[in-house]
């Protein structure tokens, strides 16, 4: 449709007087598609799911995503509230009959069945033992009270909130009034986002996803190395919890045993002068089972294999927040090169190895990963010399 066509289509769908009677000129399929999209948008608001997400077009510099206009809608509701109520009931009361569950949670037959089916779809094992439902493999839910107690005990400036589910913790904080130090975690993130528009796949209780709002006394152009510094902080926290084999992949991935363990997404909410308000998102695979790996289509690393039983997700989140708060304060005072660069290089999964850098769909460059610059750029040595690559322009994988 040519310029003006979208406005004309919208008016026609609404019966605007300037185009009423001329809708026969429009593509009828386009009109129907417009109506369907609009109905889906309205139903997502009306169904009480509480969140209608616009996925922004993305511009990056040094791994930090700059704000940009919204582009597309995503609706988040995947698991009904009854499923979370059932999990907590099993956790506190053990095996339950259908009648006991309905009575204790005030659920009708349809709500109870929807909750049980949703848990099964998320890979939660519930078996029958006579008349009782038994949670065969307990789900490690976050303990908001314990997390808040840890923050207060160490005098942290952070405040934490835990949701059952949301589309994206980053998006939620970006759309909310900015509160420095606010941390938002959720049990199930249904439309998580990564760099360059990639999605983050997660299943209930099998990952840790959270975001932090942070105000820093630096302009956006001084934040090129921040994503790398956040990755170092995450690796430190995991090492303190007994996972010393975590490596970093430029610019924002955490790796273990050669596979992806987690990712980081830093986004600018707004900036003015030498002050920038950020949202920093972290996602980690706590348990990547075969079904999740099949969904993603590649091997994934997690914290459940190799080292026995992982720490609780609450302890994991508390440890990550401790290191992140300290690292962000240090970055503001000293920058990337002075305190983080050498450690990032030491943990770099591809340091001094030949790699292929995909600049775009048609162009790639091969060379040796030699360094990272102060602005977060990866420095490759090629046949023509040293070249710098910035986040958002490239992807990285080992050369064959």
Whether the CB-CB separation of 171 and 178 falls below 8 Å is answered with: no
Which DSSP string do the residues of 259-317 spell out, in sequence order?
Answer: EEEEEEEEEEEEEETTEEEEEEEEEEES---HHHHHHHTS-B--SSSSSSSPPPHHHHH
> Hey, what domains does the chain have and what are their CATH numbers?
1-46 (no CATH), 81-135 (1.10.10.10), 156-347 (3.30.930.10), 354-398 (2.30.30.100)
In tens, the pLDDT along 363-378 reads 889 999 999 999 999 9
Q: How far apart are CA 388 and CA 373, in angstroms?
A: 8
pLDDT confidence of residue 18: 44
**Rg of the chain taking only CA atoms, in angstroms:** 24
Check pLDDT > 60 for residue 21: no
Angle at 149 between CA 144 and CA 151, to 5 degrees: 95
> What b/e readout covers 169-202, taking b as 16+ CB neighbours within 10 angstroms?
bbbbbbeeeeeebbbbbbbbbbbbbbbeeeebbb
Q: How far apart are CA 27 and CA 101, in angstroms?
A: 52
H or E segment at 9? helix 5-14
In tens, the pLDDT along 263-284 reads 999 999 999 999 999 999 999 9
Check pLDDT > 60 for residue 24: no
On the 0-12 / 13-18 / 19+ scale of CB atoms within 10 A, 62 is buried
Residue range 228-250: mean pLDDT, rounded: 95
Which comes out higher in pLDDT, residue 382 or 26? 382
Which comes out higher in pLDDT, residue 46 or 119? 119
In tens, the pLDDT along 162-197 reads 999 999 999 999 999 999 999 999 999 987 665 555
């Amino acid at each position: 449709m040519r310029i003006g066509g979208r406005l004309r289509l919208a008016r026609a769908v609404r019966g605007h007087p300037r185009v009423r009677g001329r809708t026969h000129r429009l593509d009828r399929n386009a009109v129907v598609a417009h109506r369907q999209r609009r109905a889906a948008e309205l139903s997502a608001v009306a169904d009480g799911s509480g969140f209608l997400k616009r996925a922004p077009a993305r511009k990056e510099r040094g791994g930090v995503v700059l704000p940009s206009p919204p582009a597309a809608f995503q609706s988040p509701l995947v698991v009904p509230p009854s499923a979370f109520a059932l999990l907590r009931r099993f956790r506190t009361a053990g095996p339950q009959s259908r009648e006991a569950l309905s009575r204790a949670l005030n659920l009708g037959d349809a709500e109870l069945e929807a909750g049980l089916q949703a848990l099964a779809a998320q890979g939660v094992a519930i078996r029958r033992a006579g008349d009782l439902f038994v949670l065969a493999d307990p789900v490690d839910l976050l303990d908001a009270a314990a997390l808040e107690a840890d923050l207060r005990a160490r005098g942290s400036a952070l405040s934490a909130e835990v949701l059952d589910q949301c589309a994206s913790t980053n998006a939620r904080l970006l759309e909310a009034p900015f509160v420095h130090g606010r941390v938002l975690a959720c049990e199930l993130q249904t439309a998580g986002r990564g760099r360059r528009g990639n999605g983050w796949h997660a299943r209930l209780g099998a990952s840790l996803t959270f975001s932090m709002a942070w105000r820093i006394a630096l302009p956006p152009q001084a934040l090129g190395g921040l994503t790398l510094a956040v990755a170092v902080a995450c690796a430190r926290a995991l090492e303190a919890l007994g996972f010393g084999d975590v490596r970093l992949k430029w610019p924002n991935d955490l790796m273990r045993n050669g596979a992806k363990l987690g990712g980081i997404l830093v986004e600018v909410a707004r900036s003015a002068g030498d002050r920038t308000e950020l949202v920093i998102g972290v996602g980690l695979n706590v348990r990547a089972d075969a079904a999740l790996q099949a969904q993603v289509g590649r091997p994934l690393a997690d914290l459940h294999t190799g080292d026995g039983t992982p720490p609780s997700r609450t302890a994991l989140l508390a440890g990550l927040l401790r290191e992140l708060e300290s690292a962000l304060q240090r970055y503001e005072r000293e920058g990337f090169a002075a305190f983080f660069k050498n450690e990032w290089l030491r943990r770099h999964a591809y340091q001094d190895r030949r790699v292929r850098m995909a600049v775009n769909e048609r162009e790639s460059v091969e060379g040796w990963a030699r360094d990272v610059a102060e602005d977060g750029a990866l420095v490759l040595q090629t046949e023509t010399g040293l070249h710098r690559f910035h986040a958002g322009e490239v992807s990285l994988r080992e050369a064959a």
